[in-house]
Amino acid sequence: MNNKKVVKIDMKQYGMFFALIAIYLVFALLTGGANLTPMNINNLIMQNGYVVILAIGMLLCVLTGNIDLGVGSVVAVTGSIAGIIMMDMKMNMWVAILAALAVGILTGVFAGFFIAYLGIPPFVTTLATMLMGRGLTYTLLQAQTKGPFAESYNFIGAGFLPSFKIPFGDGTLDVVSIVVAIVASVILVFSEFKSNATKKKYNFAVNPLWQTVLKLAIMLFIIWFFFYKLSRYKGLPFVLLIMVILIVVYGFITSKTVAGRQIYALGGNRKAANLSGIDTNKVFFWVYVNMGFLSSVAGIVLAARNGSATPKAGDGFEMDAIASCYIGGAAVAGGAGTIVGAVVGAFIMGILNNGMSLFGWSTDIQKIVKGAVLLGAVTFDVLSKRKKN
Amino acid sequence: MSDYILEMNHITKEFSGVKALDDVNLKVKKGEIHAICGENGAGKSTLMNVLSGVYPFGTYEGDILYKGEHCKFHNLRDSEAKGIVIIHQELALSPLLSVAENVFIGNEQTSRKGIIDWTATRRRAQEMLAKVGLEHEDVNVPINTLGVGKQQLIEIAKAMAKKVELLILDEPTAALNDEESKKLLDIMLQLKEHGITCIIISHKLNEIEYVSDSVTIIRDGKTIETLVKGVDDYSEDRVIKAMVGREMTNRYPVREGVEIGDVIFEVKNWNVFHPDDEHRQVLKDINIKVRAGEVVGLAGLMGAGRTELAMSLFGRSYGQKISGSVFINGKEVHLKTVKDAVKNKLAYISEDRKTYGLNLIGDIKENMTIAARPFFFSKNGVINANDEIIAAQEYKERINVKANSINQVVGSLSGGNQQKVVVAKWMLTQPDVLIMDEPTRGIDVGAKYEIYCVINELAKAGKAIIVISSEMPEIIGSCDRLYVINEGEIAGELNKDEFSQEKIMQLIMAHQRKGDGNE
């Protein structure tokens, strides 16, 4: 008997990809293709790198049903620590990086301790770290910009991976980018078919073939579009490497590890999680320690991109990171959301910013639009869930 | 006009096909105190919710006649406007607001244009408090500085402020000590003199005998009879008989081929204090033993301490200053966290699956495997997803969870299927000892039968099982032996051949009288 099980793809899961593409196309039309240039694609990645990094950490906080308001300030503190060590103490950049990471983790330990072990609401705790962090930054930098940093450090935020350029059309083509794109495509297609084969082996439901193919086609298109454009510019930015590593690592943690799934269980129902043997205080603690760590990574990248540490660095980043998670489909009450969603959410914000800048809208208008998009995305999410029930 | 202030005729209320109330009739005379009695789940609270408009007109069948008028309440406000006020077991007070403000919550004393008149609020609050014997209380202090007993009286004062004519009290003395209870009952008698009609729901039959003029007994959603003081036999035994006197049909699958083995779970001298009050002892010197393959019941009234016992044993999830020892498979174990408990093969299925058992936005697979995951479905912290899927699939079929797939979100399942998911979750931890707290609460008869089958299967596999249930027929039908727990102590132990609902009730009453005598 052939009992092949078939299940349709949940379109909502991919809705944000469509939104991403749609917004991008709208701005392509509005700006007459200005946002399609290789340089702009490169900028898109470099400008949004730190928001993506923060959104990944923020997703874990959002999964617990909370947020971290302090990340923008921690970005500034860690950036200024790196700056002081390199510029004032004249020490090696690796010392600076390690010190920045350590300070970031410490801020996370600080917040996590208050939240997890003293039961102070995260909103209050991180509002405090936000104020304290910003004040600390101004004190450390004496309200001055510290820079310029050495090129070797700035590579982290503004550098490119080794490339091999060949003449192509009216410019050049980086072979390394193309090779990476090929490898990525093979891995993607292979893993999709492997997971389908496993599902069939255990007689689980699989998606209809045409839907799988369509899904793959769209994802391949996005990959090739990005990598082709990058190959026509200066190759692969170093920030992209950091982003990809973090996405893969955190994607794995949240979906395939006991610790990761405990965050979802905690967010879904804390009391039930406790009675299932999960030490929810510990989970809370590590989620905020991790947020501190990723904030410092973002701080290092931002300082490197700017080539300097400024007191106002990272101002308002927490809001972008939080908005990215919600736009990416994370539940406000916690317990639902994905790393990929948060990253796509961050890129939707980035494309909006970028497109509106190219179109010549002021940052004031940009904020109005971003606010409206956030509200719209969450409203859509809430209403569609209500309909299902 | 008749001398009845309230007549509820032929009330039928269904919850997704299950009849919670079936043709219930209740007649309350003006100016009397009318008690409603019945086991947990008999339908008492449902009936009161119908009366007060919590279940709006149209969601039930039947007719409510109040002061000769047909009533169509759509919410609490409608019924309160007519002078019907219900005081629930859980107090509806805002803990940090002052006494005066609480008395007028939702009924604020305002001058023109909705501005609160604080002077009037305080003065009138004082008047209301005087009516419930609290004339010496300061109305300006936050209400959480007062004890539960006084808070309960303030609830009544609040009802007085709403010009109550029919006051409904749902288990008003459940959280009170004897002295406080006595005071509250005396206040009720005073209110009666002022012409206020009361309906009281209570498990404490001695209180009912003391305070009420007539009692209506409800069983399985049906009215059994109404007894009138001075006319009918009004003794506790008479009421118990009416409460429990039902014929047992074949609702419990027969357990066959189970060999009862050695004692594998033993609790010695277990003492637990209340988590918020270190002087209040919740459990006193509890000693219990369960053998392999044996199903042992914990019977008792609500609030007797059964759930507290289970949770305190389960990794100290309840209480403080816990002392005593626990033995599993002959070895003493120290279960300081839930993880310790799971590791030592103890499982606890909570009475409240939605609050303590399930992640309602998670799918069936996640919910089933979350507790067992660190022990069986992962290596070095990395989950083996395929094993999980296979296990979830197997248990879904084995205990017949009705769902499209193991990826279905648990919140969308029916109560019975949700309960099966919780049961599967704890079966997957491969326990030797399972404590099942109200395993069939709020689920339909078919699902109940399936849960009993699972209990039998587990007994057959040599597990020690403890069933906590407030439904006495369930305990009697599914257990081999039972302990009766009352007020945090073991009030007695019964073997299968001694089981009867009267016996259980008698043990509880005897223990209560003993307790009263000591104080």
Q: What are the CA-CA distances from residue A150 to residues A104, A154, A307, B408 (Å)?
A: 22, 6, 8, 54
Give the angle subtended at the CA of A21 by the CAs of A18 and A26, to the nearest 5°.
Answer: 120
Structural tokens at position B459: 């007994």
Report pLDDT for B248: 43
> Which letter does DSSP use for residue A15 in this model?
H
Interface of chain B toward chain A, CB-CB under 8 angstroms: 314-315, 317, 337-339, 341-342, 348, 350, 355-362, 366, 370-371, 373-374, 378, 381-383, 385-386, 389-390, 405, 411-412, 425
Domain map (residue ranges) of chain B? 1-83+165-246, 94-163, 259-345+431-519, 355-429
Cα(A235)–Cα(A248) distance, integer angstroms:
21
Contact A274 B390 (CB under 8 A): no
- Calculate how close chain A gets to B348, using CA atoms only, in Å: 8
Phi, psi for residue B320 in degrees, rounded to 5:
-140, 175
Cα(A382)–Cα(A18) distance, integer angstroms:
19
Predicted confidence band of residue A3 (pLDDT cuts 50, 70, 90): very low
Report pLDDT for B301: 79
Residues of B in contact with A202 (CB under 8 A): 386, 389-390
Cα(B427)–Cα(A260) distance, integer angstroms:
23
Residues B438 and B270: beta-carbon distance below 8 Å = no
Report pLDDT for A1: 34
Rounded to 10 degrees, the C-alpha dihedral A190/A195/A199/A202 comes to 100
For the question of an ipTM over 0.85, the answer is: no
Residue A293, pLDDT above cutoff 50: yes
Whether A387 and chain B come into contact, CB under 8 Å, resolves to no
Cα(B498)–Cα(B475) distance, integer angstroms:
13
The residues facing A329 across adjacent strands are none
Q: Which residue in B342, B362, B374 is closest to A258 by CB distance?
A: B374
Give the angle subtended at the CA of A271 by the CAs of A270 and A273, to the nearest 5°.
Answer: 65
Burial of B196 (0-12, 13-18, 19+ CB in 10 A): buried
pLDDT in tens, A149-159: 999 999 999 99
pLDDT in tens, A161-218: 988 888 888 888 899 999 999 999 999 999 888 888 877 777 777 778 888 888 888 8
- Calculate how close chain A gets to B336, using CA atoms only, in Å: 11
Q: Which residue in A259, A264, A275 is closest to B317 by CB distance?
A: A275
pLDDT in tens, A321-353: 999 999 998 988 899 999 999 999 999 999 998
**Residue in chain B nearest A203 by alpha carbon:** B390
Q: Do domains B1-83+165-246 and B259-345+431-519 have the same CATH topology?
A: yes
Q: Which residue in A205, A259, A265 is closest to B359 by CB distance?
A: A265
Burial of B269 (0-12, 13-18, 19+ CB in 10 A): exposed
Q: Where are the beta strands (DSSP E) in A122-281?
A: 165-168, 171-174
Cα(A273)–Cα(A281) distance, integer angstroms:
11
Report pLDDT for B519: 44
Report pLDDT for B468: 93
Cα(B504)–Cα(B203) distance, integer angstroms:
14
Whether A380 and chain B come into contact, CB under 8 Å, resolves to no
The helix/strand/coil state of A109 is helix
Contact A259 B381 (CB under 8 A): yes
Structural tokens at position A64: 């617990």
Report pLDDT for A13: 66
Burial of B340 (0-12, 13-18, 19+ CB in 10 A): middle
Probe site for chain A from B307, B335, B359 (most A CB atoms < 10 A): B359
Whether A205 and chain B come into contact, CB under 8 Å, resolves to yes
Helices (H), B132-195: 148-161, 178-193
B1-83+165-246 CATH: 3.40.50.300
Q: How long, in residues, is chain B?
A: 519
B9-34 burial code (b ≥16 CB/10 A, e <16)? eebebeeeeeebbeebebbbbbbbbb
The residues facing B436 across adjacent strands are B349, B467
Cα(A262)–Cα(A169) distance, integer angstroms:
52
**Residue in chain B nearest A268 by alpha carbon:** B359
Residue A8, pLDDT above cutoff 70: no
pLDDT in tens, B391-436: 999 999 998 888 888 888 898 887 888 999 999 999 999 999 999 9
Report pLDDT for B1: 46
Could you say which residues of chain B have pLDDT below 70?
1-2, 16-17, 40-41, 245-250, 445, 515-519
Residues of A in contact with B373 (CB under 8 A): 258, 261
The helix/strand/coil state of B100 is helix
Looking at CATH, the fold of the domain delimited by B259-345+431-519 is given as Rossmann fold (3.40.50)
The tally of CA atoms less than 13 A away on the side-chain side of residue A132 is 10
For chain A, what percent of residues have pLDDT higher than 90? 66
Residues A54 and A321: beta-carbon distance below 8 Å = yes
A33-159+237-382 CATH: 1.10.3470
Report pLDDT for A12: 63
Q: How many CB atoms lie within 10 A of CB B502?
A: 14
Q: Which residue in A265, A275, A279 is closest to B350 by CB distance?
A: A275
Give the angle subtended at the CA of B332 by the CAs of B330 and B333, to the nearest 5°.
Answer: 120
Report pLDDT for A163: 85
Q: What are the CA-CA distances from residue A302 to residues A53, A67, B181, B354, B368 (Å)?
A: 11, 21, 67, 45, 43
Q: Which residue in A258, A271, A279 is closest to B378 by CB distance?
A: A258
Report pLDDT for B41: 65
Cα(B56)–Cα(A261) distance, integer angstroms:
41
Q: At what angle do helices A238-256 and A280-306 cross, to 10 degrees?
A: 170
Residues B197 and B166: beta-carbon distance below 8 Å = yes
DSSP assignments along B421-461, one per residue: HHHHHHHTT--SEEEEESTTTT--HHHHHHHHHHHHHHHHT
